[in-house]
């Protein structure tokens, strides 16, 4: 039986919910009667048109909050707003991630290494997640089973890196995996019912992957809906000993 079936009411938080995989999770959870409340964060809620439309339809269950993960005070503020309404979270999925923006593009060679861009990758892909672990901890300190998942990437696997390139993205996801494994060990002591995992979603048709989809065979390019369904299935099957692990979309374990 999934941990979600054991708990009533279930409170969920999706971080980075404006579009892509995060928005897919919000839609999926709103279709699921077992989920009481869905908190959804985005950098600019007033521009998150899909979330606004969903909130109009599900005003009792969907609560939209502002959060730029690079600003710790915004994380604190959003967590305070959640704590004013509920004292427990059971499912958190951090879907924030950066591969390209404006002039920042994944590096093909050492010639393109730029410290500012590297730091931007780390700030969004690694640091934000551990700040979430820091501030969400009180909401996991309860006796019910719960999961804090962060979307990582197979490209962050050091053991699996055969192709090279994409230095900043790869390294920031490897750092994310280490930060979340370390947080999992600390959570085991302070909130033993909470599992922390990182997940590889598979190549998914979103803004992030769009410029790099040309060589991806159609059957290996997942829709957002498919990815959200697959990752939720992995999350629901997690067992106590799985905390601190790195899973692929099909439930298999990935090498560090
Ligand atoms: N798509 C894939 O093929 C693929 C493969 C492997 C791993 N992943 C990982 O999956 C996760 C989700 O990516 P996606 O494909 O859904 O990409 P996406 O559509 O570009 O979504 C990324 C999300 O991150 C948010 N975000 C970016 N910077 C942020 C910040 N500073 N603070 C708060 N939110 C921020 C974006 O918000 P805005 O709307 O405000 O920009 C957006 O909601 C990422 O971690 C990505 O690395 C994706």
Please determine, for residue 242, whether its predicted confidence score (pLDDT) is greater than 90: yes
Q: Is residue 78, in this structure, part of any structural domain at all? A: yes
Q: Is residue 254, in this structure, part of any structural domain at all? A: no
Q: Which residue has the tokens 């959003």?
A: 78
Q: Is residue 92, in this structure, part of any structural domain at all? A: yes
Global pTM value? 0.98
Per-residue confidence band for 27, with pLDDT thresholds at 50, 70 and 90: very high
Q: Is residue 67, in this structure, part of any structural domain at all? A: yes
DSSP string across 154-215: GGG-STT--S---HHHHHHHHHHHHHHHHHHHHHHHH-TTEEEEEEE--SBSSTTTGGG-TT
Residue list, ligand 1 pocket, CB within 6 Å: 16, 18-22, 42-43, 67-70, 95-98, 124, 151, 153, 201, 203-204, 206-209
Mean predicted confidence (pLDDT) in 83-108: 97
User: Which of 13, 16, 65 for mutating ligand 1's site (highest number of atoms within 8 Å of CB)?
Assistant: 16
Q: How far is the CA of 249 from the centre of ligand 1 (A)?
A: 16
Mean predicted confidence (pLDDT) in 96-101: 98
Give the residue numbers spanning the domain of 166: 3-248
Q: Is residue 170, in this structure, part of any structural domain at all? A: yes
Q: Is residue 106, in this structure, part of any structural domain at all? A: yes
Q: Do 200 and 153 contact (CB within 8 A), yes or no?
A: yes
Q: How far is the CA of 97 from the centre of ligand 1 (A)?
A: 4
76/71 Cα distance (integer angstroms)? 9
Q: Do 192 and 251 contact (CB within 8 A), yes or no?
A: no
Helix axes 128-140, 72-85, angle to 10 degrees: 20
Q: How far is the CA of 173 from the centre of ligand 1 (A)?
A: 12
**Percentage with pLDDT > 90 across the chain:** 99
Which atom of ligand 1 lies closest to the CA of 96?
A: 24
Mean predicted confidence (pLDDT) in 30-47: 97
Q: How far is the CA of 224 from the centre of ligand 1 (A)?
A: 12
Domain count within the chain: 1
Please determine, for residue 135, whether its predicted confidence score (pLDDT) is greater than 90: yes
**Percentage with pLDDT > 70 across the chain:** 100
- Rounded to the nearest angstrom, the gap between the alpha carbon of residue 60 and the centroid of all alpha carbons in its chain is 24
How high does pLDDT run on average in the chain?
97
The 10s digit of each residue's pLDDT in 211-220 is: 999 999 999 9
User: Which of 106, 150, 206 for mutating ligand 1's site (highest number of atoms within 8 Å of CB)?
Assistant: 206
Q: Is residue 164, in this structure, part of any structural domain at all? A: yes
What pLDDT score was predicted for residue 175? 99
Q: What 3-state DSSP class applies to 80? A: helix
Q: What 3-state DSSP class applies to 197? A: strand
Instruction: Give me the numbers of helices (H) and strands (E) for the chain, helices first please.
Output: 8, 7
Neighbours of 61 (CB within 10 A): 16
Per-residue confidence band for 134, with pLDDT thresholds at 50, 70 and 90: very high
117/102 Cα distance (integer angstroms)? 11
Q: Whose CA is nearest to atom 5 of ligand 1?
A: 203
The 10s digit of each residue's pLDDT in 68-90 is: 999 999 999 999 999 999 999 99
Q: Is residue 256, in this structure, part of any structural domain at all? A: no
176/170 Cα distance (integer angstroms)? 10
Q: How far is the CA of 252 from the centre of ligand 1 (A)?
A: 22
Run of H or E residues at 84: helix 72-85
Q: Whose CA is nearest to atom 36 of ligand 1?
A: 16
What pLDDT score was predicted for residue 1? 81
Q: Do 255 and 157 contact (CB within 8 A), yes or no?
A: yes
CATH number of the domain bearing residue 174: 3.40.50.720
Sheet holding 62-66, edge to edge: 62-66, 35-42, 10-15, 91-94, 146-151, 194-200, 246-248
């Amino acid at each position: 039986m999934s941990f979600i079936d054991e708990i009533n009411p279930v409170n969920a938080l999706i971080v980075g919910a404006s579009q892509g995989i995060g928005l897919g999770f919000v839609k999926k959870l709103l279709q699921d009667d077992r989920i009481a409340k869905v908190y959804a964060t985005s950098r600019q809620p007033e521009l998150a048109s899909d979330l606004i439309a969903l909130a109009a339809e599900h005003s009792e269950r969907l609560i939209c909050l502002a959060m730029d993960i690079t600003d710790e005070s915004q994380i604190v503020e959003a967590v305070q707003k959640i704590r004013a309404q509920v004292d427990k979270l059971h499912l958190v999925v951090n879907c924030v991630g950066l591969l390209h923006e404006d002039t920042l593009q994944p590096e093909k060679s050492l010639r393109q290494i730029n410290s500012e861009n590297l730091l931007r990758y780390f700030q969004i892909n690694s640091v934000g997640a551990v700040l979430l672990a820091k501030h969400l901890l009180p909401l996991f300190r309860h006796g019910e089973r719960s999961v804090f998942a962060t979307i990582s990437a197979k490209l962050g696997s050091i053991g699996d890196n055969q192709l090279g390139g994409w230095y900043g993205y790869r390294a920031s996801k490897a750092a994310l995996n280490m930060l979340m494994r370390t947080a999992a060990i600390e959570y085991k002591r302070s909130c033993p019912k909470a599992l922390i995992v990182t997940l590889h979603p598979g190549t998914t048709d979103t803004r992030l992957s769009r410029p790099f989809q040309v060589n991806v065979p159609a059957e290996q390019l997942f829709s957002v809906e498919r990815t959200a369904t697959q990752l939720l299935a992995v999350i629901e099957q997690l067992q106590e000993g799985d905390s601190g692990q790195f899973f692929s979309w099909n439930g298999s374990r990935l090498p560090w």
